[in-house]
Amino acid sequence: MKDMQVHCRINGEEKLLRVNPNKRLLDVLREDLSLTGTKEGCGVGECGACTVVVDRLAVNACLMTAVQMDGTEIWTVEGLEALPIGAKLQEAFAQNGAVQCGFCTPGMLMSAYALLLKNPHPGEEEIRTAISGNICRCTGYTPIIAAIEDAASRTP
């Protein structure tokens, strides 16, 4: 099958890409664009390691076709540092011990980023719901929740 053209913004940059329609968004990010911060865990939408933010919403990059990138605005963990909320989240994760092996961290950060875009001051229950699709096998979640609360408290 021929490649198809998609027009999107990734981490703030306009992109005109030719993608293989049999690829997933995750494959395009990692293989074609070398944005390997987005991880592949389960590949079936259960672990959340591949979470990216598409049109301000957290989505699993393993469950979206490459062609569905067309017309969207996508943020991956690589773009987070340039965003005020993103930078605060990164600092808070580091300072609260929210990172151990680090495999879940990019997805966890992107879920947290999508949450803070929607609600800059979420309660603990909202934080728990927002990261319920992101599995972490190291931290026990408590420091991650504390980090997100910390990042939110730094936002006026």
Partner 1 sequence: MEFASYHRPRTLEALYTALRQETADAVFLSACTDVLVQDRASGAFAGKAAFDLTAIEELKTVAEEPDAVCLGAELTHGQIAECALLRDCVPPLCAACSQIGAVQLRNRATIGGNIGNASPAGDTLGPLAALDASVGLDCLGTRRWLPVTELIERPGKLCLKDREFIREIRIPKMPEGMQWRFRKVGRRQALAISRLTLTVLLKLEPDRTIGVCRAAVGAVFPRPMRFPDWERQFCGRGLDAAAAHEMAAALASRIPEIAGIRPSTRYKQPVTQLLCERFLKEMLADAASETRG
Give the interface segment with partner 1, choosing from 80-88, 90-98, 126-134, 148-156 (CB under 8 A).
126-134
Here the tokens at position 74 are 């996508």
Pick from 46, 54, 63: which is nearest to 134 by CA?
46
Long-range contacts made by residues 138-142, C-beta under 8 angstroms, separation at least 24?
138/100, 138/101, 138/104, 139/97, 139/98, 139/99, 139/100
Is 43 a binding residue for partner 1 by CB under 8 A? The answer is: yes
Q: Are 150 and 95 in contact (CB under 8 A)?
A: yes
Q: Where would I find the H helices in 14-72?
A: 25-27
Give the interface segment with partner 1, choosing from 57-65, 85-93, 97-105, 137-145 (CB under 8 A).
57-65
Is 57 a binding residue for partner 1 by CB under 8 A? The answer is: yes
Is 21 a binding residue for partner 1 by CB under 8 A? The answer is: yes
Is 59 a binding residue for partner 1 by CB under 8 A? The answer is: yes
Residues that bind partner 1 (CB under 8 A): 1, 4, 21-24, 43-46, 48, 51, 57-60, 62-65, 67-68, 70-71, 111, 114, 129-130, 132-134
